[in-house]
Amino acid sequence: MAVMFRGNSLKDISWNEFQALRPAEKAPMLTSGGHPYHILFSQQFDREFLNRIITLATMTRRIAKTRGGLLYLQGLLAEKRAMLYFVQPSTRTFLSFFSACEMVGLKPGEVRGTSTSSELKGESPEDTVRTFSSYFDLIVMRHPEAGFAERIAWLLSTTERPIPVVNAGSGKDQHPTQALLDIYTLQRSFEEVGGIEGKTVVFVGDLARGRTVRSLSRLLALYPGVRLVFAAPPSLQIGDDILAELREAGVPVQLTDDFHATIPEADAIYMTRLQDEWDIAGESQKIDLRRFSFGVEHLPLLKPNAALLHPLPRRGEIAVEVDHDPRAVYWRQVRNGMWIRAALMLMIFHRDAEIDRYYEDLTS
Ligand code: NCD
């Protein structure tokens, strides 16, 4: 039985009531006028949304190819400002959001750590973030704590100036916009071979603490016929919570510690690094990860249409010599991230229909 709440909005529910809901019950409260508003976890997305954002990212990418198109895009959100609050290390995701903001005209501000903010004076992170809502129209945040972005989204909804919150990585838990760009990359890789449906995807590496895998595996469950293989040392295997969700969704799942044996059956391989920043006493340094890496010697085993992905940064799990192979798509993933994030911001601010119209004129 669902918890009773007064309305279909975050401001009508207490934090405790909200927290107790299942992701599917929370999802409608994260939208506004049929559009996504807060972007917090990947279970809030359905296939219709994924199809829409993929189409939108592609139209945006094509429009940006000409000077006129780029200038048009840069006018779309020119009256808006975005705060990029990244209090955990980031290169790609920060730059990706920064570039996506510029692409659609959003003016970005940034806080890249707590060392120069009033948090050093003892201010609570909640108050710091609430201050941003006076100056900005959107907060994109990367934070070491799972659930922090959710709490801020709820908190801001109770203020006079609620603004949307986008989770750009929350602890070991979720990275929903990375999952969107991964889906976009897979869709583009498999465009000519029937799309993502029916494909076998192998996840490799630190699956216990890698948030990208947790977010992406849930989205892959939305594609009929997808089979997921999790290849990791036993101590770094995927969480039981994810396995339970996948089983409930009817997704065939296999766990193994023999990654190399899975290469010939893979349509996509998603490599990840060791997440030893979460170690308490350097315990994962002792794990031999050579068995969970991809070298040039593995290329002949890979299917001709396969795609090799990595959210990056890498730490040797994929040899640099592999980069030249057309099946290595991790640098393309980086570029796709910018388009998907630009499309997402257009959707959040209800400007996506303008892209449809502009693109139709362009191609008619
Ligand atoms: C990932 C992350 O931050 O979770 N990086 C990224 O956003 N592209 C993966 C990682 O740090 O290993």
| Contacts within 8 Å (CB) and 24+ apart, 292-296 | 292/204, 292/205, 292/231, 292/232, 292/233, 292/259, 292/317, 293/317, 293/318, 293/319, 294/204, 294/263, 294/269, 294/318, 294/319, 294/322, 295/319, 295/321, 295/322, 296/321, 296/322
Which tokens is 56 given?
Answer: 């939108």
Q: What is the pLDDT of residues 108-147, one digit of tens each?
A: 999 988 776 777 778 888 888 888 889 999 999 999 999 9
Cis peptide before 313 (omega within 30 of 0): yes
Q: Enumerate the β-bridge partners of residue 140.
A: 84, 166
- Assess whether 121 carries a catalytic annotation: yes
Other C-beta atoms within 10 Å of 225: how many? 12
Tell me the whole-structure pTM to 2 decimals.
0.96
60 as an active site residue: the answer is: no
Tally Cβ neighbours within 10 Å of residue 203.
26
Ligand 1 contact via 170 beta carbon (within 6 Å): no
Instruction: Tell me how far the alpha carbon of residue 240 lies from the centroid of ligand 1, in angstroms.
Output: 21
Q: Name the residue with higher pLDDT: 5 or 109.
A: 109
**Contact criterion met (CB below 8 Å) for 178 and 217:** no
Nearest ligand 1 atom to alpha carbon 211: 4
Q: Is 211 in the pocket of ligand 1 (CB under 6 A)?
A: yes
Q: What is the pLDDT of residue 1?
A: 40
Q: What is the DSSP letter of 269?
A: E
- Give the model confidence (pLDDT) of 57-91 as tens digits: 999 999 999 999 999 999 999 999 999 999 988 88
User: Does residue 334 line the site of ligand 1, with CB under 6 A?
Assistant: no
- List the structure tokens of 135: 């100056």
Given a cut of 70, whether residue 5 has pLDDT beyond it is no
Which of 26, 38, 80, 142 is flagged as catalytic?
142
Q: Give the span between the Cα atoms of 137 and 150, in whole angstroms.
A: 17
Catalytic residue among 38, 80, 143, 175: 175
Least confident of 115-124, 243-252, 296-305, 332-341: 115-124
What distance in Å separates the CA atoms of residue 97 and residue 339, rounded to the nearest whole number?
10
Residue bearing the bigger pLDDT, 121 or 351: 351
Catalytic residue among 6, 121, 324, 357: 121
212 Cα–ligand 1 center, Å: 7
Domains and CATH numbers, the chain: 10-175+336-353 (3.40.50.1370), 177-334 (3.40.50.1370)
Whether 331 shows a pLDDT value over 80: the answer reads yes
